[in-house]
Structure 1
Amino acid sequence: MSAIPVSDVDLYTEQARVDPYEIYSGLRALGPVVYLSRYDLFALPRYDEVRAALMDWEVFSSARGVFVDPVVNRQLEGITLCSDPPEHTAMRSVLGRPLRADRMREVTPRIEAEADRVVRRLVGRGGFEVVAELSEYLPMTVVSDLVGLPGQGRAKMLEWAEAIWNTQGPADERAEAAGPAVGEFLAFADKDAVPGNIAPDGWAAQLYAAADRGEIPREKCPVMLLDYITPSLDTTILAITSTVALFARNPDQWDLLRGDRSLIPHAINESLRLESPVPQFSRVLTEDHEVGGVPLAAGSRVALLFGSANRDERHYPDPARFDITRRPSDHLAFGRGEHVCVGMHLARLEMSALLERLADQVARFEIRDSRPMINNGLRGLGRLDVTVEPVAG
């Protein structure tokens, strides 16, 4: 342990959830591996080591959970996020079918039509609250319909998703307060979101159809709903909101995008790099392993700090600058390897549809007010009020 830098920094204070970047910079300066004494974790704060870990699931295992609290990790063993091949491969194959890039072409007209509808309405008002009125719109109108949950489930999806993410840190007050909502979701998934109550052609129904064909165990279906609800909601909502905020603060970059729409994919990547909605997950080493020249023992829990790696000055020059010409397609906000985000094509589609239409209609954004989200598993804005200057003519 003497060769490994030790830090007692707390990544879960309110201030650290709002602005962790000075902490990340300090951890990167300490070395490729830092022992976080508060949580008995070895943190990887630099890009190269995080990417290498993501690409090596056999050594950096997800099967013993990917969070912080040992109790939560034990409870969630075996869900898609907390599993390894071959079990993970079977579940991911089923989950990913409606989310493949080719399947996104089927839903693109609907998403574009809804994006056009909401942007025209909001820009016509001259200002709006981004989170509730813009960022939540596509996930809640289109995605919730595609999942095919019963009505009472759709009304609670945002509350449940935020609570589930709050369990991904230590056993603190936020995690404790999330307990009832998490329990409510699990009961709903087990008793209510079942064949007969769910839309027969929805994504949830496809899970049960796959179980009937013997592709996955039927008892996995309720918890696999987590994989459609949590990634398809908060992460996309936060990403959309952060992108608007970044363009409001960097009007020169908005001018670039409005003048060249081919920059939209790069703008999305740059926003995700700079303001990663999911700052970290953890892994457990299956064998003794050297990371960045540092030996770690089998059984060590290792935190992969995506939010820090995506701002590593060793990999990205001037990493705190928002530059949509940077083209950082190698960012780690969606993960990499076996556990790369299954919904990333959908998230990109939603973000692209909104940016295209905002670029058509908005000359400038101005922030009136903002409020951070405080959550143990997520980072971003919980509120963003803007005024907009419409495009002339």
Structure 2
Amino acid sequence: MLLDDATFVSGAGVGLNPITNRFSRGTTLNSDGAEHAERRNLVAHRLTPRALRAMHDDVSEQAERVVLDALERRRIDGVEELAMALPMSIVPNLIGWPEEGRDQLLAWGAATFDALGPLNGQAIRAARPSLQMLRYARTVAKRRTLREGSLGADLLKAVDEGRLDASGCPKLLVDYLAPSIDTTLSAIASALYLFAVHPEQWQALRADRALLSNAINEVVRLESPLRAFSRQVARDTTVAGADLPAGSRVLVMFASANRDELVWDAPDSFDITRDATQQLGFGHGTHGCAGQGLARLEIRSILGHLLDRVDRIELTGEPVWAVNNIIHRLEHLPLELIPTR
């Protein structure tokens, strides 16, 4: 389905309710074909491998500070003091978001995903903060308070040059801001959790750092940051013997695919030696996560500095999982970091 975006379309919305799908028009998430490519190309140059290489030292330095601060305390909340700290700094800076309003980004981003769910209590409660994020983005774009040299400044330039309608700029700001924070935060926190629960895997990674890319894929496979999105069926088709008529909707469950026993051996096991490159935790195909390269850089940087300094990661209490229609992530993760001698 993810590779056949002519049959399973996103332009009619990827949410599970018509209200959010209507408000999401004009985003890369909610577009197809040339429109999708045009919107994605407006920011693609900021997320190329070459652009990310230029960011490497800055990301690594910030990750090192985050890890050193956490090690100084030893007993920490792995979400608030490790997983959240790096993406909440890197991503807003990349987009050029003003300092004012950054304290609301996590709540607004979570609400934006929650609002994509079915019309349950979560989605209804999320409506107001989700709209607040969009309204604030409109204010930022209108006042042109985005930092010079940022992705956001590029979007304003595209508006000035007639390549982007002014109304599209705020939506694209939200389009890249919310997912880039939430999915990375989710993956870092899940990595900490999994390595705490499976200490032998942490020791295996310490013994062989060449497994780091494998480990990141395995974390994203087992604890997929995104549960699912919807697609509309554009023409009559059949999937696995099921007839799907044009106009119907399907639920594309990334988390389920990542534990599919037809694809994975022992799918519920955490094994960093597994080749998990097929994982779909960042999506796939045309609508694959544009910022996954940056997410991987951030995850790799945090884990790399932890590997340099931490012998064991231990749980000190019960983890708390956040409740959200789409995002799968920890809300609290009590940990103790045991430093190397």
TM-score, normalised to structure 1, is 0.84
Question: Which letter maps to 2:322?
Answer: M
**Pairing partner for 1:124 from 49, 72, 92:** 72
**Pairing partner for 1:237 from 185, 204, 211:** 185
Mapping of 1:156-305 within 5 angstroms?
A: 156-194=104-142, 196-305=144-253
Report how far residue 58 of structure 1 moved.
0.4
Alignment check: 8 A CA contact 2:114 2:122 kept: yes
Query: 2 CA distance for matches of 1:153 and 1:203?
Result: 17
Do residues 78 (structure 1) and 7 (structure 2) align?
A: no
CA offset digits 1:203-233 (Å, max 9, x no partner): 1111111222333323211101112211111
Q: Secondary structure of 1:386's match?
A: strand
Q: Secondary structure of 2:283's match?
A: coil
Mapping of 1:59-74 within 5 angstroms?
A: 59-74=7-22
CA offset digits 1:239-263 (Å, max 9, x no partner): 1000010001111110110011111
Report how far residue 195 of structure 1 moved.
5.3
Query: 2 CA distance for matches of 1:372 and 1:274?
Result: 15
Question: Which letter maps to 2:340?
Answer: V
Question: Which letter maps to 2:316?
Answer: R
Do residues 367 (structure 1) and 302 (structure 2) align?
A: no
Question: Which letter maps to 1:259?
Answer: A
Query: 2 CA distance for matches of 1:73 and 1:143?
Result: 25
CA offset digits 1:138-159 (Å, max 9, x no partner): 1122221221112222222112
Question: Which letter maps to 2:330?
Answer: L
Alignment check: 8 A CA contact 1:90 1:216 kept: no
Structure 1 residue runs of 4 or more that deviate by more than 6 Å after TM superposition: none
Q: Secondary structure of 2:322's match?
A: strand
Query: 2 CA distance for matches of 1:223 and 1:139?
Result: 20
Query: 1 CA distance for matches of 2:102 and 2:153?
Result: 15
Do residues 376 (structure 1) and 320 (structure 2) align?
A: no
Q: Percent identity?
A: 39
CA offset digits 1:179-210 (Å, max 9, x no partner): 22122112111123345311121111111112
Question: Which letter maps to 1:239?
Answer: A
Alignment check: 8 A CA contact 1:242 1:381 kept: yes
Query: Which residue in the other structure is 1:36 paired with?
Result: none
Do residues 142 (structure 1) and 90 (structure 2) align?
A: yes
Query: Which residue in the other structure is 1:95 paired with?
Result: 43
**Pairing partner for 2:5 from 57, 71, 77:** 57
Q: Secondary structure of 1:223's match?
A: helix
Alignment check: 8 A CA contact 1:195 1:208 kept: no
Q: Which runs of 5+ in 2 are unaligned?
A: none
Query: 1 CA distance for matches of 2:162 and 2:50?
Result: 25
Q: Secondary structure of 2:336's match?
A: strand
Query: 2 CA distance for matches of 1:323 and 1:305?
Result: 22
Query: 2 CA distance for matches of 1:264 and 1:283?
Result: 33
Cα RMSD (Å): 1.2
Question: Which letter maps to 2:269?
Answer: R
Q: Secondary structure of 1:323's match?
A: coil
Query: Which residue in the other structure is 1:6 paired with?
Result: none
Query: 2 CA distance for matches of 1:270 and 1:364?
Result: 19
Do residues 387 (structure 1) and 313 (structure 2) align?
A: no
Q: Secondary structure of 2:243's match?
A: strand
Report how far residue 131 of structure 1 moved.
0.7
TM-score, normalised to structure 2, is 0.97
**Pairing partner for 1:306 from 254, 264, 271:** 254
Q: Secondary structure of 1:254's match?
A: helix
Say how many residue pairs are matched: 340
